[in-house]
A and B are shown apart, each in its own frame.
Chain A
């Protein structure tokens, strides 16, 4: 169990930075992978549609 109240604990700032940065890396990886995949799929669909002379699908 963490010792003392957050304000009294001298390590809270360091823990916040460490867990915050790691949390951002974890969330960033999920967001980038998901949106990156969707963006790639949309771009490739539009390429195919343009080549086939179809109206470009919007999402």
Chain B
């Protein structure tokens, strides 16, 4: 039953699979980004209260969703690496951090430029904004901690523990608008029985969320390949891959 899992966890198998997957994920992702941006900026009607400012939703929500989803992926990969001692899982976790940090930054900036016309301020120490800022610091802390160790195994273990401990912040971000009085609007999409958004505005948003998810997986596949090659440089298969590339570059 678990054969596929252990086969996927094999570095040479994953290296080859990720090389194929990255292009197959990135091309549709970029096409869907184009469709989503066109739908959001051109086809969706303006909001009756927020006017055209609401169109920031099409980059803000997918960025914020990715910032949390990537952190959960990083923590899960860290936990798998710690429990089953799968090196590939640590490579995945390490590759997630810079991508997650960049989308957390995008979520904070796009939220700030949406906040200015709607709330009259770029920043407020609101529970949602503050917990998202903490998420950015968690990513920085994770990368800093990894960089602080010379020994890769120690770096993997310590950073996995930090990622797992920090995952408690993700539900806090999500539920902050329900638990506390917040300037930030409440849930829009997660009320599945009655989303507070019309279909004309919703489909570009769902397209962008799908596009950003595929984009993350494509970029992650690319980054993990480098990380795996670096970790496996002593192994026969990695040296064969590198020799093949050397022969190609001499030719």
Residues of A within 8 A of B (CB): 1-3, 9-12, 14-15, 17-19, 21-22, 25-26, 28-30, 32-34, 36-37, 40-41, 44-45, 47-49, 57-59
Contacts and interface: CB of A to CB of B under 8 A. Distances in A.
Nearest to B243: A48
Contact of A29 (B42, B99, B117, B238): B99
A18 B109 contact: yes
B242 A44 contact: yes
Main SS class of interface, A: helix
Nearest to B216: A29
Contacts of A33: 219, 222-223, 226
Interface residues of B, number: 45
A18 B113 contact: yes
A9 B215 CA distance: 31
B59 interface: yes
A44 B230 contact: yes
Nearest to A49: B246
Interface stretch (B4-12, B50-58, B132-140, B166-174): B50-58
Contact of A22 (B99, B110, B242, B243): B110
B93 to A, nearest CB: 16
Contacts of B117: 10-11, 14
A41 B229 contact: yes
Interface in B55-70: 55-56, 59-60, 63
A9 B52 contact: yes
13 contacts: A1-B43, A9-B52, A10-B51, A11-B53, A11-B117, A15-B56, A18-B109, A25-B63, A33-B219, A33-B226, A36-B226, A41-B242, A48-B233
